[in-house]
Amino acid sequence: MRARSGAPRRGFGLPAGTLMAHIPDGFLSAPVVAGTAAASAACLAVAARRSRRRLAEREAPLLGALTAFVFAAQMLNFPLGAGTSAHLLGGVLVATLVGPWSGMLVLFAVVLVQALLFQDGGIAALGANTLNLAVIGAGGGFLLYRWVFALVGDGARRRAVAAALAGFGSTVMVGIAVALELAASGIVPLRPAVLVIGGAHVLVGIGEAMLTGSVLTLVIRSRPDLMTVVAPPTRAARGVALVTLGVALTVAVGGVYLASTRPDVLTAAATRFGLTGRETSTVTPPFAGYAAPRGGPWVAAVVGVMVLFVLAWAVSRLAARRRS
């Protein structure tokens, strides 16, 4: 063992979204700092009460171990291919091990250590970083996990797949939350913020999904006692999950339809730089301009969302089968 001359080495070459997962001081306005701090404090107060009830005397070693683990694991650069890499955020992984409330406390402890000792994330931005990584990352991620778990059904491999998909979803949610906070602070316009930071977090989410699912598979095999107990989904829970899926699809269809009527950021940028009309394509898309040959944009939106859903469903089922 050797003494270190500074903070533990953290990887470079990370996507922009990874860097902004811990917002430094100087990026947020006073109202956003105050608002996110109040929201985080309220959530942590509830989490502390609920966690104590759940873990009792086991909580200190469990939470201490996980805090140290998440900090150490965040130093591992996970290659995504094409020269990009990401590191674990850990919200869903921790929440599936100790439950959402304790998971939020673990992520808060990690954010606190990183801000106070290593200046990775600001002291004034502590509330925002806690809201993003602990409340949304672990708490929101666990809600997603329960939802996907109810959809895919019980079983060790299905749990891992549900956690992987929730890991991806929670990472994207974290990216969007960061973008919203920066935009609300007047630092950067909303659309480019969502596009750049949210887009980078889609990449980061792929790594998060791989790490969460794979590590959880190994944990289920070697130490299943470490997993938090989640009851198998009942018929009612499955029904609720399917209804919310239906609502989500409806919103998505509406979103696709609405989005198709306005130029997006890329189109606007292309217009600004005089790139419109220069694009070439050797393939004729079936729904060019989000319009189906018959039925217009509504049909294109419904078909597009259904195709995406079927693809995602097939990939998750295939992944669940292969993990067995």
Kindly identify the residues of this chain, within the stretch 264-323, that bind other proteins according to CB under 8 A: 273, 275
Q: Is 209 an interacting residue with respect to other proteins (CB under 8 A)?
A: no
Q: How far, in Å, CA of 264 to CA of 107, rounded?
A: 35
Nearer to other proteins, 234 or 276 (CB): 276
- Which one among 8, 232, 263, 295 touches other proteins, defined by CB under 8 A? 8
Cα angle vertex 167, ends 94, 230, to 5°?
Answer: 55
Member of 36, 40, 43, 69 binding other proteins (CB under 8 A)? 69
Nearest distance, CB of residue 148 and other proteins, angstroms: 20
Distance in Å, CB of 123 to other proteins, minimum: 4
Which residues, 6+ apart, have CB-to-CB distance to 202 below 8 Å? 172, 175
CA distance 24 to 285: 43
Nearest-approach distance from CB 321 to other proteins, in angstroms: 19
H/E stretch holding 210: helix 199-222
Residues 150-189 that bind other proteins (CB under 8 A): 186-189
Rule CB under 8 A: say whether 241 interacts with other proteins. Answer: no
Decide if residue 124 touches other proteins (CB under 8 A): yes
Residue 53, interface with other proteins (CB under 8 A)? no
Could you tell me the smallest distance in angstroms from the CB atom of residue 304 to other proteins?
29
Residue of the chain from 176, 184, 202, 210 that contacts other proteins (CB under 8 A) = 210
Q: Which residue has the tokens 């091990």?
A: 97
Q: Long-range contacts of range 56-59, CB-CB < 8 Å, 24 or more positions apart?
A: 59/102
DSSP-derived secondary structure letter, 81: E
Instruction: Kindly tell me which of 226 and 240 has the beta carbon lying closer to other proteins.
Output: 226
Instruction: Tokens for 69, please give them.
Output: 């683990």
Q: What is the rounded distance in angstroms from the CA atom of residue 177 to the CA atom of residue 183?
A: 10
Apex 263 CA angle, 277 and 283, nearest 5:
45
Q: Which residues, at least 6 apart from 303, have a Cβ–Cβ distance to it below 8 Å?
A: 287, 292
Q: Which is nearer to other proteins, 48 or 292 (CB)?
A: 48
Beta carbon of residue 322, minimum distance to other proteins (angstroms, whole number): 14
Q: How far is the CB of 129 from other proteins (least distance, A)?
A: 12
Rule CB under 8 A: choose which of 38, 42, 61, 312 binds other proteins.
61
